[in-house]
Structure 1
Amino acid sequence: MTISFPFSLAGKRGLILGVANEHSIAAGCARAAHGLGAQLVLSCVSDKAMQYAAPVALELQAPLLPCDVEQEFELEQLVREAAAQLGGLDFVVHSIAWAPAEDLHGRVTDSSSSGFLRAMNISCHSFARLARLCEPHMADGGSLITMSYLGAAEAVANYGVMGPVKSALESLVRYMAVELGPKGIRVHAMSPGPIPTRAASGLAEFDSLMRHAEEKAPLRRLVTLDEIGNLAAFLVGDGAAGMTGQTIYIDAGYHIVN
């Protein structure tokens, strides 16, 4: 009988979407997976964004491909190219979220139909489309990870339209876990606490949100990119083979006291 070390990703092949720069959550996940031996393909949102994401790809010696998930053909091309370069896929990390500023900063009650739909398409439904495209390349099973936030379960000040969108994403995870489970494909949402990323900087009064989390979290600190990456690496590895369909908080315990 062959026994594999549960916290090694040697031989695992992964696609990680949403690398914005070295401080992005996707970059933290990529560094952790690479450090444990995984082969990776990374993506960023556009050709213009590649200059900021390129240092991460260079550090990890991983291919970097542009992909705007609003363009169906770009998502199809990304998955096809990643699977071809890696010889298949064992895990995918979806770290993508966006909403128009006017809808993000305003009342949910006043959100526009077009803004709400775009936010839902990019931040939520793209995960379902990604799963559908990756499924044929996961013949031996695999893992799909996406990123949520506490605002999915609670009304967090200044999180606006992203709250309902992330709530839908967490529900999507549960349904996908049921549908893909018979094929050995596990699905999770991770819910990190607030950390200073480029995406988070678009939220109003985000500095106050981070200070409040640091003061109230049981560990009295914010989590780090490395810690978030380590959790993602664990979830896509063999050590988490018995887990699926969960939203897993990594926020220094903030969600239990907020």
Structure 2
Amino acid sequence: MIDLKGRVAVVFGVANKRSIAWGIVQQLHAAGATLAIGYQNERLRAEAESLIQEVPGAEAFQCDVSQDEEIERVFAQFKERYGKLDILVHSVAYAPADALKNDFVLTSREDFRVAHDISVYSLIALSRAAAPLMTEGGSIMTLSYFGAEKVVPHYNVMGVAKAALEATVRYLAADLGKQNIRVNAISAGPIKTLAARGIGGLGDMLKAHADRAPLHRNTDQSEVGGAAVFLASPLASGITGETIYVDSGYNIMGF
């Protein structure tokens, strides 16, 4: 069992119990980490505060990651409350509904900008804010998907954003390595989250994944959480700039 006692982890993107971020929170908690959970706005406060009741010692902090002043404010709170950070989980992605419903060629300039700002740039902004608090080194991780590499119907601009996200992981890893901060992505298989329900044909995607993956099943949030615990631990001390697949092996299949 990996022991993360004494490590402080902040997880952005916990929306509800079905979210991948919640699976990560549960596994980090089981490993002994101290948890801070970032929620987007006042509307989501009640949900966040309800969830942390199941994670003794966890605290919830409001932060809209598209606003630099909010990021600056919340990381000042982290510094005052915890003194340091060891683990940062970025599980944030968004694209306007029209960009997922329409053909990709119809993606508007504004929808493209919004998808990349929230899904990609926020990782840079959060990493920049976290790095000064990672005084003993640290582990930063984000969530990606196979649509970054291959065309997935209806994934559209999110696939392009995830490709940019994986490239961002590599560039951040190169920048932050001198501070002993590792940056990695977890590419999870499709999971029936609230966010994923906005993608057309999700049921077909889940069925195709289970049919073709070597393990012949879909991915569970807890499995993604387990990979996150590994990446947060000293066992992964030599791993940075990588995309780790937790998708029942689907990505290795050609047909």
TM-score, length-scaled by structure 1: 0.95
| Structure-2 residue corresponding to 1:22 | 17
Q: How many residues align?
A: 253
1:110-142 CA-partner distances (Å, limit 9, x unpaired): 111111001100000100011111111011110
CA distance in 2, matches of 1:151, 1:70: 23
Q: Percent identity?
A: 39
The answer to whether the 8 A contact 1:105-1:204 is kept is yes
5 Å-filtered alignment, 1:29-44, equals: 29-44=24-39
Q: Distance in 2 between matches of 1:154 and 1:162?
A: 12
Cα-Cα RMSD: 1.1
Instruction: Classify the secondary structure of the residue corresponding to 1:15.
Output: strand
CA contact (8 A) 1:22 1:53 kept: no
Query: Matched residues in 1 for 2:8 and 2:86: separation?
Result: 5
2: distance between equivalents of 1:196 and 1:84? 37
**Structure 2 residue identity aligned to 1:158:** H
In the alignment, does 2:8 pair up with 1:8? Answer: no
5 Å-filtered alignment, 1:175-214, equals 175-214=171-210
Moved over 4 A (4+): none
- For 2:131, the equivalent position in structure 1 comes to 135
**Which residue of structure 2 aligns with residue 150 of structure 1?**
146
What is the deviation of 1:47?
A: 1.2
2:211 corresponds to which of 204, 209, 215: 215
1:91-130 pair list within 5 angstroms: 91-130=87-126
Cα shift readout 1:173-230 (whole Å, capped 9, x = no counterpart)? 0011011001100000100000110110110011110011011111011111111101
Cα distance in 2, alignment partners of residues 247 and 107 from structure 1: 27
Query: In the alignment, what sits opposite 1:228?
Result: 224
One-letter amino acid of the counterpart of residue 116, structure 2? M
Query: Are the aligned partners of 1:9 and 1:237 in contact in 2 as well (CA < 8 Å)?
Result: yes
Structure 1 residues 126-174: Cα deviation after superposition (integer angstroms, max 9, x where no partner): 0001111111101111010000000001111110100110000000000
After TM superposition, list the pairs within 5 Å mapping 1:58-73 onto structure 2.
Answer: 58-61=53-56, 62-73=58-69
Q: Does 1:89 align with 2:85?
A: yes
SS of the equivalent of 1:48 reads helix
1:190/1:247 contact within 8 Å kept? yes
1:51 aligned partner, one-letter code: A
Provide the secondary structure at the position in 2 that maps to 1:221: coil
Q: Distance in 2 between matches of 1:195 and 1:149?
A: 10
> Post-superposition shift, 1:52?
2.4
Q: Tell whether the 8 Å contact from 1:22 to 1:55 is kept in structure 2 after alignment.
A: no
Find the residue that maps to 2:42 and give its secondary structure: coil
What TM-score do the two structures reach when normalised by structure 2? 0.96
Gaps of at least 5 residues in structure 2 are none
1:165 aligns with 2:161: yes
* Contact 1:13-1:90 at 8 Å conserved across structures: yes
